[in-house]
Amino acid sequence: MDFLQLLISGVSNGCIYGLIALGFVMIYKASEAVNFAQGDLMMAGAFITLELTNPDRMGLPFIPAVLIAVIITGAVAYLLEVAVIRRLFGQPQFAIVILTIALGFFLRFLAGVIWGHEPLTLSTPYAGVSFEVGGVIFGAEDIAAIAATLLLTGALYLFCSKTKLGIAMQAASQNQMAAYYMGIPIKRINGLVWGLSGAVATVAGILLASRGSIDPSIGFLGIKAFAAAVIGGFGSLPGAIVGGLIVGISEPFAARYIEAGVSQIAPYAIMLLILVTRPSGLFSQVYSKKV
């Protein structure tokens, strides 16, 4: 029973990591840039939802608040790409990495100014609800995390493979120059990818907030999600989810069967092992470029 309980906890946590990792992968596939502010966009989305649902503030019902928060955070991410990231077009990728790290610090500082640094709780309709099956407890927040990840992954797959915009995004991710000569608006595509990654990060933030308290420091979970993206393969959307599951499952099992402190370094140890044995990740998608 302990094994199954740990597995459920690990899978639900891994789904959240996987959703954040999806943002890393989508942006990298579109522009070969790494957005180290992805975890902080997740944090911002959670706080925006908290603000919208707070009865002393906006007091909106949960579902409308979630939809509005997704749109707001997606718009913020889109504007960040248009107003800030796009200015570095043609610069070394290292410059974008430094800039996104700085953006992460700014978002955490801004969240601390607005909401403070004390842990806050997001009220959800399923808070405290659980089900017991064969002695194993399924928390409603665990079920919500798994279900939301499955739905979002399926929706993203259909969007990327069945819509004109999704196909254009895939073309831009494989060869931006060729896509540009074919008339695909590369800059607009990059902005939309950033907006989409911000929206997905918001869902991850809401799922994380429903499992406990939130504060500006939860943005640092983006580092674990980065490890998940590396493990799965930085160019693979399915790999992001699989990497997230590996990271999420490794933590409770390491804490239970090895030592509590080991759970914090287990994801990075796995990432190091993958980098040594399979540098491109488990689901590597490597394309050769002619120069």
At 173, the pLDDT band (50, 70, 90 cuts) reads low
CA distances, 201 to each of 106, 138, 258 (Å): 17, 24, 31
pLDDT, residue 290, reads 44
Condensed to tens digits (0 to 9), the pLDDT of residues 143-167 reads 999 999 999 988 888 887 788 777 7
Residue 126: pLDDT above 80?
yes
At 180, the pLDDT band (50, 70, 90 cuts) reads low
As a whole number of angstroms, the distance between CA 13 and CA 203 comes to: 13
Q: What is the mean pLDDT of residues 180-206?
A: 86
211 within 8 A of 8, measured Cβ to Cβ = no
As a whole number of angstroms, the distance between CA 38 and CA 206 comes to: 14
pTM of this prediction? 0.89
pLDDT, residue 51, reads 92
Q: What is the mean pLDDT of residues 259-287?
A: 83
pLDDT, residue 226, reads 93
As a whole number of angstroms, the distance between CA 46 and CA 106 comes to: 16
- Give the distance from CA 170 to its chain's centroid: 19
At 211, the pLDDT band (50, 70, 90 cuts) reads confident
Residue 187: pLDDT above 60?
yes
Q: Which residues, at least 6 apart from 188, have a Cβ–Cβ distance to it below 8 Å?
A: none
Q: What is the mean pLDDT of residues 203-217?
A: 90
53: which 2 tokens? 């649902």
50: which 2 tokens? 């908290």
Q: What is the mean pLDDT of the chain?
A: 86
pLDDT, residue 255, reads 86
As a whole number of angstroms, the distance between CA 120 and CA 244 comes to: 25
Amino acid at position 234, single letter: F
Share of the chain above pLDDT 70, in %: 92
The DSSP letter of residue 120 is: E
Q: Is the dihedral of CA 174, 178, 180, 182 positive or negative?
A: negative
At 289, the pLDDT band (50, 70, 90 cuts) reads very low
Residue 288: pLDDT above 50?
no
- End-to-end, the C-alpha distance of the chain in Å comes to 56
- β-bridge mates for residue 133, sequence order: 136
Residue 260 is inside which H or E element, if any? none
DSSP 151-210: HHHHHHHHHHHHSHHHHHHHHHHH-HHHHHHTT--HHHHHHHHHHHHHHHHHHHHHHHHT
CA distances, 222 to each of 5, 80, 158, 213, 265 (Å): 25, 18, 26, 17, 14
125 HSE (CA, 13 A, CB side): 8
